[in-house]
Structure 1
Amino acid sequence: MRPRIRALLTAAAALGLTLAVPTVDAHSAGGFYVPPANPDAYRQIAGLLRQGDLADASKIAAMVRTPQAVWYGDQTPAEVRRAVAATTRDAARKGTLPVLALYNVPGRDCANYSAGGAADTAEYTAWIDAVAAGIGSRPALVILEPDSLALTPADCGQDDAQQTLTAARFAEVDYAVGKLEPLAATRVYLDTGHPNWHSVNSIVPRLIRGGVERATGFYTNTSNYQTDDAGAWYGTLISSCVAYAAAGGDPAACPNQWWPRADAQGWIDANVHADPADMAHFVTDSSRNGQGPWTPPAGKYTNAEDWCNPPDRGLGARPTADTGSALHDAKLWIKIPGESDGRCLRGTAGPEDPERGMVDPAAGQWFPEQALELVRFASPPIG
């Protein structure tokens, strides 16, 4: 188990709580919190049982009993404070570590499938203050604002020439780091998108502006399908580049994920001398990457949206803090498997998803057809 994850569990001992520190491997994730499932998941299980489909019902049940993140966004400060407090108290009683995904930054998701978030910076900082109050001194692992740094207002074409909203985005993320990381038993990780998106050279300056040097680190592959190997290598390169930049180097000189690995490792060996304990650590999302990314049919779509409810994907490795890497703190299920990415149109007029021949559920709603795919194609198998 990674020392920083163990520290979250053991920190509560000083507060008079009794927290277990179980061994966590790829098939047993007793150290992480299991939240209540989407109610529609239970309805799907009940329906499968009525149909006599015991195998799939067992697999869906196993999926929702696997530790995964609890997402917060759009609540009022009073609501989010109560909700976060309830989750962290429940996790502490059970001797488990909750993963909290905070998703309320202004301009969230470029006003697309997961649009929403706080109205402005003042509203957002008040919301973060409430989250901090809800956590208090209890252990928590915070996934801070998916897509906040990989998808800024400037990337969306929604900013002015001075990039006022993008500057505010970095300030908002940095404020959250400054508010949450100093809590007694909280560790904060920042957004990098996924390994097939931004280069290391592009994302590291964004991480620095977002306050990564004051956070525990960063996360990658949230809600995406890139392989564990790609995510771990991307994370290693980013961590090395952050350390190089902290020592005065230019991130533009760092190797990126498209370099030959031997060349990139040689560069790291020659240029990065920091102790791994002092470097930015990372976690990865393995919730839906068991089959890796989807390759759309060539020439079929003007915008295939390969990230949006791709067909025949499978659950990935179970949450674990045993990654074999001094920098890779954990594999987690950050995206809730079985919940839709949105109403995917793939460049068509819709309303159906042309890859599936149906109207996909709205983002965050339960998607029974996809849930069945995830458990049937899970790697390693589930259930």
Structure 2
Amino acid sequence: MRTPDGIRRAAPAPGSPTPRTAGRGRAAALALAAGAAATALLVATQTGADAAVQGSLAADTQFYKDPASQVVKWVAANPNDSRTPVISKRVASQPQGIWFSNYRPDTVTSDVRTVTSAAAAAGQVPVLVVYEIPNRDCGGASAGGAPDLAAYDAWVTKFAAGLGSGRSIVVLEPDSIALTTCLSSSELANRYASLSRAGAAIHAANPNAKVYYDAGHSSWNSASEQANRLRSAGILTNGDGFYSNVSNFNTTANEVNFAKSVLSALGNPSKLHAVIDTSRNGNGPSGSQWCDPSGRKIGNYPTAATNDAAIDAFLWIKPPGEADGCAASAGQFVPDIAYQLALNASDPTTPTNPPTSQPPTSQPPTSQPPTSQPPTSQPPTSQPPTSQPPTGTAACSVAYRANSWTGGFTADVTVKNTGTSAISGWTLTWTYPGDQKVTSAWNAKVTQSGAAVTATDLGYNGSLAPGASTGFGFQGTYGSNNTTPTAFTLNGAACTVA
């Protein structure tokens, strides 16, 4: 369901790219962060909410910002990129979920301790995402997990041993309760029992940790169905609440209403509250598209000042800019996605948290699209500054790789300058032999007229030195024929097909 830096995010099936792989320099970066706590950015904003209507977290709770996150590293490595100021101010400045998704039982305790000790030194609360349940994502883009439930139980115990005694938020296994179609009845019962044991192990290791269970989202299972599943997974005994909307796009208002319906179906136990992922829901969903849809925007900035007794926090559990699996490998940071999410967002120093009590616009369906989708970020709709018009012809090669399903596909295209002169600005054209239609694109502007397709650079990726290459991608639909094109032209020159 998400990420590549080892300690966080989801790991894909064996042999596929890791959505999140732990950075080797994480411990050093976190140690430096702890020492620099005095200069840490304020990541949770007090909005004047009355404590009487707060959730179980204080309104001024500050959440921990990971100095080793993909977006922070990208900003540091790209100071002159035209997108950096927006991404830095509106995305990298904010606290986001830290995913533990790689099965490394020998190091997980120290990996967790590195994060929690740095957060404690800064007086902040880390958001830790546990993502290691066997058969996670039902074999989708973020498939993987521990070898079996016995190994998972042991891994969770080791995870819990790194929590220390400070406050922390544990987001326990996205999709594990909402997405169960791949499990037999006995497998499901065993998973529920294991999730209950996981909550108990975390609380036993650190009573100050809050454990939130998977509630899917408002467009998935009904509130009563999700409540029954949560009850079976031990939330009443071993949970502090549940989370919704992870890696999805539903509006905050709809998610709040859904959360309250789930709480009601659970009997409104006083100890249970909800947290909502608002990392990409500023424009709501894009129809039924869940995999890197275009035109999305970051939502509420992370805060515990929700002004709602049922809602503990709005969090960025899915880091903005990390793909769902369509724009790039699941969990890979894509700057264009982050840029487009942030481009029209408000200034984070003056966040506005909209009312959370608006009635839902529609009843949630009973069938379930996955909450954690292959790539989790979105192909941009508006484009960064464009480059100068292309000059001259070019010697080139093109690699076109498509991933298809019934009626739809994504394609990754790599363009390489195989000539001896630099290219300043490029336009790639081809004609589809089938009935494909491009619907959205990233890292290039793609237009289509009939079967003819034209892709142009976005300025920042328009210069190609001899031997250099660049890539872009798009999503599309087709009726009966998705045959791969065999001829491409770059700036008027025919390219070799790789």
- Shorter-chain TM-score range: 0.7 to 0.9
- Partner-residue secondary structure (3-state), 2:107: helix
Tell me how far apart the structure 2 counterparts of residues 207 and 219 of structure 1 sit (CA, whole Å).
Answer: 11
RMSD value, Cα: 2.6
Q: Which residue of 1 aligns with 2:431?
A: none
Summarize deviations over 1:208-256 as a string: whole Å, max 9, x none.
0111112111011111111110111111111111116xxxxxxxxxxxx
Q: Which residue of 2 aligns with 1:33?
A: 64
Q: Which residue of 1 aligns with 2:222?
A: 199
Summarize deviations over 1:252-280 as a string: whole Å, max 9, x none.
xxxxxxxxxxxxxxxxxxxxxx6xxx242
- Partner-residue secondary structure (3-state), 2:246: coil
CA 123–22 in structure 1, closer or farther in 2 if over 3 Å, else same = closer
The CA deviation at 1:381 is 4.1
Residue 164 in structure 1 maps to residue 186 in structure 2: yes
Normalization by structure 1: what TM-score? 0.73
- Partner-residue secondary structure (3-state), 2:169: strand
The CA deviation at 1:324 is 1.2
Tell me how far apart the structure 2 counterparts of residues 331 and 30 of structure 1 sit (CA, whole Å).
Answer: 12
Q: Which residue of 2 aligns with 1:318?
A: 301
- Partner-residue secondary structure (3-state), 2:162: helix
The structure carrying a bigger strand percent of its residues is 2
The CA deviation at 1:367 is 1.4
Alignment of 1:258-273 (within 5 A): none
**Does the aligned pair in 2 maintain the 1:222–1:335 contact within 8 Å?**
yes
Tell me how far apart the structure 1 counterparts of residues 71 and 241 of structure 2 sit (CA, whole Å).
Answer: 34
**Does the aligned pair in 2 maintain the 1:106–1:121 contact within 8 Å?**
yes
Percent of aligned positions that are identical: 37
- The equivalent position to 1:50 in structure 2, one of 80, 83, 102, is 80
The CA deviation at 1:167 is 1.3
Summarize deviations over 1:135-168 as a string: whole Å, max 9, x none.
132221100000000011xx13xx34xx221111
Tell me how far apart the structure 2 counterparts of residues 234 and 86 of structure 1 sit (CA, whole Å).
Answer: 35
Residue 90 in structure 1 maps to residue 57 in structure 2: no
CA 31–44 in structure 1, closer or farther in 2 if over 3 Å, else same = closer
Q: Which has the higher contact order (CA 8 A, sep 6+)?
A: 1
The structure whose Rg is larger is 2
Pairs aligned (count): 298
Summarize deviations over 1:295-329 as a string: whole Å, max 9, x none.
26xxxxxxxxx111111111111111111111111
Q: Which residue of 2 aligns with 1:60?
A: 87
Equivalent residue letter for 1:370? I
- The equivalent position to 2:156 in structure 1, one of 105, 128, 131, is 128
The CA deviation at 1:377 is 3.1
- Partner-residue secondary structure (3-state), 1:109: helix
Residue 369 in structure 1 maps to residue 336 in structure 2: yes
Gaps of 5+ in 2: 1-36, 49-58, 350-498
- Partner-residue secondary structure (3-state), 1:334: coil
**Does the aligned pair in 1 maintain the 2:117–2:164 contact within 8 Å?**
no
- Partner-residue secondary structure (3-state), 1:181: helix
**Does the aligned pair in 1 maintain the 2:61–2:125 contact within 8 Å?**
no
Q: Which residue of 2 aligns with 1:286?
A: 278
**Does the aligned pair in 1 maintain the 2:43–2:65 contact within 8 Å?**
no
Residue 339 in structure 1 maps to residue 339 in structure 2: no
Tell me how far apart the structure 1 counterparts of residues 44 and 277 of structure 2 sit (CA, whole Å).
Answer: 20
**Does the aligned pair in 2 maintain the 1:239–1:279 contact within 8 Å?**
no
**Does the aligned pair in 2 maintain the 1:84–1:134 contact within 8 Å?**
yes
Gaps of 5+ in 1: 1-17, 245-273, 297-305, 344-359
Normalization by structure 2: what TM-score? 0.56
**Does the aligned pair in 2 maintain the 1:312–1:377 contact within 8 Å?**
no
